[in-house]
A and B are shown apart, each in its own frame.
Chain A
Amino acid sequence: MKEKTTDKKGSFLSPFKAVQYLFKKPRTLRYPFERKEPALRYRGFHLNDWEKCTGCGNCADICPNEAIAMEEIPEIEPKPGEKNERPKLDYGRCCFCGLCVDICPPASLRLSRDYFHIHFDTDTFTFIPKDEKTDEEHFLGSEQYSILKASLAHRKQNHEGFSSDLDYALFEPKRVTMPEVKPDERKLSFIEQVIGYSKEEAKAEASRCLECKLCEEACPAHLKISDYIKAVYEDKPGESLKKIFEDNPIPSICGRICMKHCETACSLSIRGEALAVRWLKRFVADSIKDYKTALELKSAEPTGKKIAVIGAGPSGLSIAYFLTLKGHKVVVFDSLSGGGGMMRIGPPLYRLPIEAIDKDVNHIASLGVKFRFNTTVGKDVLFEDIRKEYDAIHLGIGTTVSRSTKIKNIDKAHLALPFLQANKIAEPVKVGKEVIVIGGGNVAMDVAREALRLQYMQYPNEEVVTKTVSLEDWDELPATEDEIEEAKAEGIQFNPAWGPKEVKVENGKIKGLLCIKVKSVFDEQGRFSPTFYEEKQMFLAGDMIIEAIGQAPDFAFIPKELFEKLEFTPQRKVKVDENGMTSIPKVFAGGDIVNQNLDAVTAIADAKLAAEGIHRMLYKR
């Protein structure tokens, strides 16, 4: 290709070749009569599906020009774990790069192929986008649409442009897999199923967090999740632990059994897997041997006030911690031989080992909280005496009595709580070879999976089976999806939508359970009121039956005349005011007897509220 330019001097005549173009049609489009459709990926004005948008604000955070602000929309009733904010665009700033589209976790924000907006009022250039689904008025079909009127308020239907694609998204939808003991191995013993993240795995998982903080809204105790996850990412477990302890003093327990409302709300869970918030909390708790040194807590001036806490469960432990930090003297009463309350007896060893509980309890004890274990209030100590002696009382007694179905011959069956308790902190129960568990909740899963382990341990190399019967069908089983999947993987058999009718007994021994088909579990108002097809029956063979259909609290320790003053909500929960105080003065309450969630993190939230309430009450005087 090396040519000397001087060789070509060109011609005077050749340019006349261009004359031919005089007889050709012009290439210019005579707009607006001749129009050109923008390409399918065109990056024009925004579209936002208000139904899908969670108000997470990631679009506003990534915008290089700060063209997006989150605007509160009072008309929107936010779903749990969402915000009623929607992105507002300033088209004087927007550069139409589409980073907002690539970061949008629910893929609600897209760009359209519209690009016209002419208006005398500059304020119209700031605009809260919607799409044709949520704003029918301004998105018009081809009959009503006219390009001459095109503007932000006169848009074309079906004019999608640049849209989100998970393969090119700016977030990682896949979670770092948690190493676990395989089902075939774990079902043979009570070995802890979840192994826990290594430092590198935890860091990689923490790096996925988009810091939108929807989880913090969703968490009953409002932990500063985004901050403590960021500290894990930055390799500062101490900082992370401090952030956790601001709202949750039992991370070793919660890092294993939390019901993780945060993960349900997580932005990443919409199109991918939620950030493993619970496992990261567990990583922090496990990676720090000594909380006390890491936390550098300053002890407060003693106030001389004495507070009795009844029940050393999550709410009791938490309130003891929060009140001790304020300088109060706290004594915790519990009938068990150690702390943890329901955590100590309920969650199986493969999920929550005793050492993990004791780590949290011992730390709280080391701060000066006095624990009186093996002490049953009402028997060893009288409630009235406590009331006289202490400045305030907190009830975190939980639901400790297993409910029963009251069907024929049910007295031969076992109850869930004593079964779990014995297996966890006493002698394991002798199980049958064919165990039937009645119930479909998380406790039923625990019972069934424990029974299966005991079967494998007590009948090695023999054929054993554990099955569950539940009123609820697959889609309405109250147990979490994880629990159901793990139980299935271990070989638990499920019989959903069957109700127990009668325990069949022969020669004083259980032969099995007669079941009837469930028509519906809830009535039209959503209340629990099961109906059955009486004629559709099924017999489940079995030699042991365990009932796991729910628990109730035991208030027997409260003297009758005082108990009558204790008010309850229509849902049969103890009524507390905004300070966490019950209708009995100086008596506060929290945990399963107060809230509907029936989980540890909500108990912590209750305790936080009651701790503030007690502190305020003591200092008003």
Chain B
Amino acid sequence: MSVNTNSKKTGSARELELYFGPQHLGMVGNFSITLKVEGDRILKAAANPGYLHRGFEKLMEYRTWIQNFPMVCRINVVEPDSMEMIYAMAVEKLAGIEVPERAHFIRSIYLELARVGSHLFGLWAYANMLGFDTVAQWAMYHRDLILDLFEELTGGRVYHIYIWPGGVRRDFPSGFKDKIVNTLHSIGGCVPDYDATFFNNRLFYERASGIGKISQEQAKQWGATGQTLRATGMPYDIRKVEPYAAYDKVDWDVPVREDGDAYSRVWVIRDEMIESVHMIFKLLDAIPKGPVYNRLPNPFKWKIPKGEAYVRCESSRGELGLYLVSNDSDRPYRVHFRTPSYPHGLIILEKLLENASIADVGNIMISLYVVAPEIDR
């Protein structure tokens, strides 16, 4: 934390400029906020993205359609899978590629596993930030079990590079269904422990309740999606609004809370994990047999006719959109991602930090579920 003195005022009420991050324990990653504070009250906050800018959208214009597939996942380090999904959806829409039924189911199962893994990671971040180290370690361990599943299915732990246009890259290995069920049961068995130690912990309530509160109107106005919007009582979820993959093939609910504060947001995350697990069980029961991949055109000759597509899906952080333009070429003409962390991390964060206390900066930021690489594309 560095301090910039302001000569206008003196004493405890003087205005200071405070750099929060990028090297700061309470920070979500390569991201920083410049705070203008008076005492421990924040007058104004300015988000500073750009520490992780790798120019993905531009890079993608220089790579062929298939070469982009291993790259898109890197835009969101924590949950790469919905990035793969949305790229596949956009390319399929542009090029008119059909996806086999079984692949739709596998995609949904895979994306829900990713959601659980990502939420566990989010839980680690939040619990860690508040000082609930025990719970944080549990969450990290359970996320690792999910990564084991990914490793078995895709060969990679973090970047799975699995959903590609036309379906998925490989079918389930033998006995994989049972492995998913067993892993999810063993994680599910710990839910009472999580509840007792964290979610029903009075300290957590005291620390999070009423923090970073926004109304439904504000949420809509500021472009909030995902947990931030659902925690204000609005059951808005792309998986329901505009079903993709196999999300319309099974019954499931959209978890909602109504207070719009950090406490509600974390509870939505908890409920979503449980709902995802139930959904995976239902999908596993309903999954049809058959092929999982319709062969893509020869990668060295693959051109997509002139056109543009906008597709969206529900990532673990909210509404993810991709605008993809082809100019009858072997690579994209323009790529633009609409990532949920962008409004959450740049707009809503700045608004919520006004008048908040310095001690709550991390609390608010992490409850908004910001993942920095998503902002810096």
Query: Taking beta carbons and an 8 Å cutoff, which residues of A are in contact with B?
Result: 1-6, 8-12, 14-15, 17-18, 21, 27, 38-43, 61-64, 95-99, 102-103, 111, 161-162, 165, 167-172, 207-211, 230, 233
Residue contact B299 to A98, C-beta cutoff 8 Å: no
Sampled A-B contacts (17; CB under 8 Å): A1-B253, A1-B275, A2-B256, A4-B259, A5-B209, A6-B259, A9-B205, A9-B209, A10-B204, A12-B201, A14-B201, A62-B67, A95-B70, A95-B71, A96-B156, A97-B69, A209-B301
Chain B residues near A102: list those with CB within 8 A. 169
Name the residue in A5, A165, A167, A170 with the highest tally of chain B Cβ atoms < 10 Å from its Cβ: A5
Chain B residues near A10: list those with CB within 8 A. 199-205
Residue contact A5 to B267, C-beta cutoff 8 Å: yes
Q: Which residue of A has the minimal Cβ distance to B199?
A: A10
Cβ of B249 to closest chain A Cβ, rounded Å:
20
Residue contact A39 to B155, C-beta cutoff 8 Å: yes
Q: Within the assembled complex, what's the spacing in Å between the Cα atoms of A208 and B261? A: 56
Q: Within the assembled complex, what's the spacing in Å between the Cα atoms of A578 and B63? A: 45
Q: Within the assembled complex, what's the spacing in Å between the Cα atoms of A375 and B224? A: 90
Chain B residues near A211: list those with CB within 8 A. 300-301
Asked if B141 is at the interface of the complex by the 8 Å CB criterion, the answer is: yes
Residue contact A61 to B173, C-beta cutoff 8 Å: no
Q: Which of A4, A18, A167 contacts B193 (CB 8 A)?
A: A18
Interface majority SS (helix, strand, loop, mixed), chain A: loop
- Given the interface pairs A18-B193, A41-B152, A42-B155, the reply to whether A97 lies near B68 with Cβ below 8 Å is no
Chain A residues near B300: list those with CB within 8 A. 61-62, 209-211
* Residues 279 to 304 of chain B near chain A (Cβ within 8 Å): 291, 293, 295-301
Asked if B271 is at the interface of the complex by the 8 Å CB criterion, the answer is: yes
Q: Within the assembled complex, what's the spacing in Å between the Cα atoms of A208 and B68? A: 21
Residue contact B197 to A207, C-beta cutoff 8 Å: no
Q: Within the assembled complex, what's the spacing in Å between the Cα atoms of A299 and B159? A: 60
Residue contact B70 to A97, C-beta cutoff 8 Å: yes
Residue contact B298 to A209, C-beta cutoff 8 Å: yes
Q: Within the assembled complex, what's the spacing in Å between the Cα atoms of A171 and B134? A: 50
Which 3 A-B residue pairs are closest in the complex by CB-CB distance? Answer: A97-B70, A64-B67, A41-B155
Cβ of B137 to closest chain A Cβ, rounded Å:
9
Cβ of A269 to closest chain B Cβ, rounded Å:
15
Residue contact A98 to B155, C-beta cutoff 8 Å: yes
Q: Which residue of B has the minimal Cβ distance to A43?
A: B155
Residue contact B293 to A167, C-beta cutoff 8 Å: yes
Residue contact A12 to B67, C-beta cutoff 8 Å: no
Q: Which of B70, B153, B256 contacts A1 (CB 8 A)?
A: B256
A-B contacts besides A170-B296, A208-B298, 20 pairs, CB < 8 Å: A1-B254, A2-B258, A4-B257, A8-B199, A8-B205, A10-B201, A14-B201, A15-B196, A17-B196, A17-B197, A40-B152, A41-B153, A41-B173, A96-B156, A97-B161, A103-B299, A111-B155, A167-B293, A207-B301, A230-B301
Residue contact B156 to A5, C-beta cutoff 8 Å: no
Asked if B151 is at the interface of the complex by the 8 Å CB criterion, the answer is: yes
Q: Within the assembled complex, what's the spacing in Å between the Cα atoms of A95 and B67? A: 11
Q: Within the assembled complex, what's the spacing in Å between the Cα atoms of A62 and B66? A: 8
Digitize B159-194: 1 where CB-to-A-CB distance is under 8 Å, 0 elsewhere: 101000000011001000000000000000000010
Residue contact A168 to B201, C-beta cutoff 8 Å: no
Asked if B264 is at the interface of the complex by the 8 Å CB criterion, the answer is: yes
Asked if B154 is at the interface of the complex by the 8 Å CB criterion, the answer is: yes
Q: Which of B170, B196, B253, B257 contacts A18 (CB 8 A)?
A: B196
Chain B residues near A21: list those with CB within 8 A. 134
Q: Within the assembled complex, what's the spacing in Å between the Cα atoms of A12 and B291? A: 53
Asked if B110 is at the interface of the complex by the 8 Å CB criterion, the answer is: no
Digitize B295-317: 1 where CB-to-A-CB distance is under 8 Å, 0 elsewhere: 11111110000000000000000
Chain A residues near B209: list those with CB within 8 A. 5-6, 9
Q: Within the assembled complex, what's the spacing in Å between the Cα atoms of A208 and B63? A: 20
Cβ of A516 to closest chain B Cβ, rounded Å:
53
Q: Which residue of A has the minimal Cβ distance to B275?
A: A1
Q: Within the assembled complex, what's the spacing in Å between the Cα atoms of A374 and B222? A: 91
Residue contact B170 to A168, C-beta cutoff 8 Å: yes
Chain B residues near A41: list those with CB within 8 A. 151-155, 170, 173
Residue contact B255 to A15, C-beta cutoff 8 Å: no
Q: Which residue of B has the minimal Cβ distance to A165?
A: B170
Residue contact B257 to A62, C-beta cutoff 8 Å: no
Residue contact A5 to B253, C-beta cutoff 8 Å: no
- Given the interface pairs A5-B257, A9-B202, the reply to whether A18 lies near B293 with Cβ below 8 Å is no
Residue contact B70 to A64, C-beta cutoff 8 Å: yes
